[in-house]
């Protein structure tokens, strides 16, 4: 029985059930035959005893192996599901700090050709340049559950005061169509949850060790 339990992963659980049923019926039939022959020879009595015990122990061992295999398969499936969930961009995004998000966004923007400038823009914004165009990166709303119109107007006002040509605003919360329209008219590029997840996937795949 111990050997069967240790080797249960070699066969699917349902096959163990079929083997248990088949072996039980076969050994029961053999036990009946050997019982009929036991009066004719002493060997028949011995074989009858073996088959009588075997028709109980062997199916029981196979049933235990089936249960163990099914339990292990379900456990592995739960572990894989949990690992996939923990490795999903949405889950990883929730674990990022402000500094992590800043590093991720700057990494992705620099890959697009934007260059980080020395110093900061007003109100803690990050100043970048793309060609001849200055761009302000605003991370103040990245944790906000909903992007407000006032946030866009505030960034547009800062852009006007500082003479900056364009803005980038990071927000992983909900962004409605009115906010997107206002951002487009104001020269503000919105970096939403979908974009952050794409960048995070690219960052993870880039830094993952090669097999």
In tens, the pLDDT along 126-144 reads 889 888 889 999 999 998 9
Same domain for 108 and 175, yes or no, is yes
Give the residue from 71, 86, 101 where a domain finishes: 86
Domain extent for 28? 2-86
Query: Which pLDDT score is estimated for 41?
Result: 52
Instruction: State the CATH number of the domain containing residue 165.
Output: 3.40.1350.10
Query: In terms of C-beta distances under 8 Å and separation of at least 24 residues, what long-range contacts does 202-205 make, across chains too?
Result: 202/108, 203/104, 203/107, 203/108, 204/89, 204/92
Kindly state the percentage of the chain with pLDDT values over 70. Answer: 74
Task: Classify the phi-psi angles of 117: left when phi > 0, otherwise alpha if psi is within -120 to 50, otherwise beta.
Answer: beta
Quickly state the pLDDT bin for 152 (edges 50, 70, 90): very high
pTM exceeds 0.85, yes or no: no
Query: Which pLDDT score is estimated for 93?
Result: 80
């Amino acid at each position: 029985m111990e050997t069967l339990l240790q080797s249960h992963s070699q066969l699917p659980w349902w096959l163990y059930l079929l083997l248990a049923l088949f072996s039980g019926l076969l050994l029961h039939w053999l036990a009946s035959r050997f019982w009929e022959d036991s009066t004719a020879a002493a060997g028949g009595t011995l074989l009858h005893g073996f088959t009588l015990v075997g028709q109980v122990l062997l199916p029981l061992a196979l049933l235990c192996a089936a249960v163990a295999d099914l339990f292990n398969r379900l456990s592995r499936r739960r572990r894989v599901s949990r690992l996939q969930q923990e490795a999903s961009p949405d889950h990883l995004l929730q674990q990022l700090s402000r500094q992590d998000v800043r590093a991720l966004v700057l990494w992705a923007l620099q890959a697009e050709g934007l260059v980080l400038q020395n110093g900061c823009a007003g109100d803690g914004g990050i100043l970048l340049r793309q060609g001849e165009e200055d761009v302000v990166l605003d991370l103040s709303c990245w944790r906000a559950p909903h992007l407000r119109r006032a946030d866009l107007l505030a960034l547009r006002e800062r852009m006007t005061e500082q003479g900056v040509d364009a803005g980038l605003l990071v927000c992983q919360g909900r962004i409605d169509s009115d906010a997107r329209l206002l951002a487009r008219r104001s020269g503000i590029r919105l970096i939403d949850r979908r974009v952050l997840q794409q960048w995070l996937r690219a960052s993870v795949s880039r830094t993952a060790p090669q097999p």
